């Protein structure tokens, strides 16, 4: 069972994906049943594993492909944090996507690749070695591209090209880093970090830079972020997937693995890479927020907000403090919940009222109250208002910064919070307090349930994650468990 369970969980996403590709367009029910069934089954299995891993169980499966290239699947507490997030959000996003794309074209292709993305994301979370991580990371790139270009118009194709240009170059750099590292140490497994202490510091720095640069493309670090706002042309469920569940998270998750499970935070400090990484993360946080201020479109605003927020995770990993790591890890979940809420809502605003730009949103709260409430919760959470989840992340990050002897982190967080407020509050003001504009006046009523339930659910989860942060099974509780178990010095 311990050997098979990771494979079974991977199969819950892979099998529906492969079957979906070959279904005829009009077999809607089979397709939906497969995808939802896979998602529900996976959720059940993940809940079971949460309980087992919580009691200290570790799952591992390994087989060798060629000498030096082994596929290692290993489930530890950190894997589960990411998998649980992606599983819950996959289920909700599938529900949402079914309603959102209802009656559209090329849906077998869409849902096929959608499930394939989830398969790849799960694989990333389960990866027990660096090269396994790379295999799934690259598969994720390939599986998301057809989703980005799904609409098939010139803008999508252009966005797809930018996306691939950045991500494939990033993976190439990552691969060089991995092979270089493994040529010095042999295959690198996360469970047994390689002995790096005796190696030449400059090689270690160069490899670290290659790894972080390769991962930083997906994590949208400043300068490598260009693909992310462009990829906004994709349908709303895809944006939700890219921003909250899969792509940017894969990059951030990878950075956490590199810093903690390969180098170890102590060594990162020793070769003087911790501070530069924290600085880049901070720069990204501020840069994303400032760019968000100047956006007219709702989705571009959310995109730049993602650029900014994902770097909280990187910042947490870069600081030499347990509290900061907890903050970073928990933000992986918190940002996911809040950001997916915002994207779901943006999709509903678009679908029901034709809202694309911020100035079209005036007075929409009266017409689409539930969606607007969910959006408001998400936005306030992003700003960091207690008791919504985002507050806990920022609190831990700030405290961690002080612990690590880097008080400037608090300043970065404060400025970022002000900027978050500066770009989100005007939108909220327009939603609730402006007279209904033409879009609101022409808006259809709220509904169908399948479009409405997912954002409400994620907003509620974001609120609950903040309210019950002290509970053992809250994201915060779990992140603390990870740090105590794996990264305690």
Contact footprint for another protein (CB under 8 A): 21, 63-69, 105-106, 108-109, 131, 134-135, 138-139, 141-142, 146, 149-150, 152, 156-157, 160-161, 164, 168-169, 171-173, 175-176, 179-180, 182-183, 186-187
449-467 vs 389-403: helix crossing angle, rounded to 10: 40
Please state the closest distance from residue 210 (CB atom) to another protein, in A: 11
Q: Distance (Å, rounded) from C-alpha 146 to C-alpha 157?
A: 10
Q: Distance (Å, rounded) from C-alpha 219 to C-alpha 62?
A: 28
Tell me phi and psi for residue 432, to 5 degrees. -100, -35
Please state the closest distance from residue 215 (CB atom) to another protein, in A: 16
The secondary element (H helix, E strand) that includes residue 326 is helix 322-353
Please state the closest distance from residue 268 (CB atom) to another protein, in A: 22
Name the DSSP class of 448.
Answer: -
Please state the closest distance from residue 101 (CB atom) to another protein, in A: 15
Shorter beta-carbon distance to another protein: residue 141 or 417:
141
Please state the closest distance from residue 157 (CB atom) to another protein, in A: 5
The secondary element (H helix, E strand) that includes residue 59 is strand 59-66
Please state the closest distance from residue 181 (CB atom) to another protein, in A: 9
Q: Distance (Å, rounded) from C-alpha 237 to C-alpha 235?
A: 6
Please state the closest distance from residue 270 (CB atom) to another protein, in A: 24
At 22 the three-state DSSP class reads: coil
Please state the closest distance from residue 186 (CB atom) to another protein, in A: 6
Q: Distance (Å, rounded) from C-alpha 375 to C-alpha 281?
A: 26
The secondary element (H helix, E strand) that includes residue 31 is helix 28-54
Please state the closest distance from residue 199 (CB atom) to another protein, in A: 14
Q: Distance (Å, rounded) from C-alpha 488 to C-alpha 386?
A: 28
Shorter beta-carbon distance to another protein: residue 159 or 236:
159
Q: Distance (Å, rounded) from C-alpha 381 to C-alpha 143?
A: 30
Please state the closest distance from residue 159 (CB atom) to another protein, in A: 10
* Among 70, 80, 29, CA closest to 485: 80
Please state the closest distance from residue 152 (CB atom) to another protein, in A: 5
Q: What are the beta bridge partners of residue 351?
A: none
C-alpha 191: how far from its chain's center?
Answer: 23
* DSSP state letters, 352-398: HH---BGGG-TTHHHHSHHHHHHHHHHHHHHHT-TTSHHHHHHHHHH
Shorter beta-carbon distance to another protein: residue 7 or 473:
7
- For the chain, give me the number of helices (H) and strands (E)? 21, 2
Q: Distance (Å, rounded) from C-alpha 320 to C-alpha 298?
A: 36
Shorter beta-carbon distance to another protein: residue 156 or 420:
156
Q: Extract the tokens encoding 366.
A: 């009266």
Q: Distance (Å, rounded) from C-alpha 88 to C-alpha 244?
A: 11
Shorter beta-carbon distance to another protein: residue 187 or 400:
187
Shorter beta-carbon distance to another protein: residue 247 or 340:
247
Please state the closest distance from residue 6 (CB atom) to another protein, in A: 16
Shorter beta-carbon distance to another protein: residue 187 or 398:
187
Shorter beta-carbon distance to another protein: residue 158 or 296:
158
Shorter beta-carbon distance to another protein: residue 134 or 343:
134
Q: Which residues contact 84 (CB under 8 A, 6 or more apart)?
A: 46, 50, 333
Q: Which residues contact 308 (CB under 8 A, 6 or more apart)?
A: 284, 285, 286, 287, 288, 289, 292, 416, 419, 420
Q: Rounded to 10 degrees, what is the CA torsion of 371, 374, 378, 381?
A: 150
Shorter beta-carbon distance to another protein: residue 182 or 261:
182
Shorter beta-carbon distance to another protein: residue 72 or 457:
72
Shorter beta-carbon distance to another protein: residue 169 or 486:
169
Q: Distance (Å, rounded) from C-alpha 215 to C-alpha 255?
A: 6
């Amino acid at each position: 069972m311990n050997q098979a369970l990771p494979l079974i969980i991977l199969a819950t996403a892979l099998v529906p994906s492969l079957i979906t590709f070959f279904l005829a367009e009009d077999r809607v029910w089979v397709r939906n049943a497969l995808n939802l069934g896979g998602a529900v089954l996976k959720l059940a299995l993940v809940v079971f594993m949460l309980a087992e891993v919580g009691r200290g169980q570790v799952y591992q499966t390994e087989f060798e492909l060629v000498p030096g290239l082994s596929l290692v699947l290993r489930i530890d507490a950190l894997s589960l944090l990411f998998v649980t997030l992606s599983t819950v959000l996959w289920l909700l996003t599938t529900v949402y996507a079914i309603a959102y794309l209802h009656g559209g074209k090329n849906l077998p292709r869409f849902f096929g690749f959608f499930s394939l993305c989830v398969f790849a994301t799960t694989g990333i979370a389960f990866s027990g070695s660096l090269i396994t991580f790379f295999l799934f990371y690259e598969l994720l790139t390939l599986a998301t591209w057809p989703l980005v270009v799904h609409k098939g118009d010139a803008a999508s194709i252009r966005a797809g090209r930018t996306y691939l240009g950045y991500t494939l170059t990033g993976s190439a750099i990552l691969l060089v880093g991995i092979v270089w590292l493994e040529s010095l140490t042999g295959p690198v497994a996360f469970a047994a970090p390689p002995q790096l202490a005796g190696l030449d510091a400059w090689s270690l720095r160069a490899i670290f830079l290659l790894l972080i640069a390769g991962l930083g493309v997906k994590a949208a670090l400043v300068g490598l972020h260009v693909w992310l706002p462009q990829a906004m042309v994709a349908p709303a469920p895809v944006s939700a997937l890219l921003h909250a569940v899969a792509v940017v998270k894969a990059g951030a998750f990878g950075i956490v693995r590199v810093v903690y499970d390969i180098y170890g935070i102590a060594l990162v400090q020793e070769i003087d890479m911790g501070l530069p990484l924290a600085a880049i993360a901070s720069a990204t946080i501020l840069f994303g927020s400032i760019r968000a201020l100047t956006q007219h479109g709702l989705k571009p605003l959310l995109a730049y907000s993602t650029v900014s927020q994902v770097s909280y995770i990187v910042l947490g990993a870069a600081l030499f403090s347990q509290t900061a790591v907890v903050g970073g890890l928990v933000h992986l979940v918190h940002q996911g919940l809040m950001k997916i809420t915002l994207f779901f809502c943006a999709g509903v605003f678009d679908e029901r009222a034709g809202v694309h730009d911020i100035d079209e949103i005036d007075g929409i709260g009266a017409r689409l109250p539930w969606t607007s409430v969910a959006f408001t919760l998400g936005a306030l959470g992003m700003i960091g208002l207690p008791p919504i989840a985002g507050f806990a992340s920022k609190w831990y990050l700030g405290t961690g910064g002080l612990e690590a002897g880097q008080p400037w982190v608090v300043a970065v967080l404060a400025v970022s919070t002000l900027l978050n407020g500066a770009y989100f509050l005007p939108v909220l003001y327009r939603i609730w307090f402006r007279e209904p504009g033409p879009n609101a006046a022409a808006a259809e009523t709220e509904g169908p349930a399948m479009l409405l339930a997912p954002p409400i659910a994620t907003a509620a989860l974001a609120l609950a994650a903040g309210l019950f942060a002290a509970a053992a099974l809250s994201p915060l509780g779990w992140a603390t468990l990870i740090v105590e178990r794996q990264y305690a010095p």
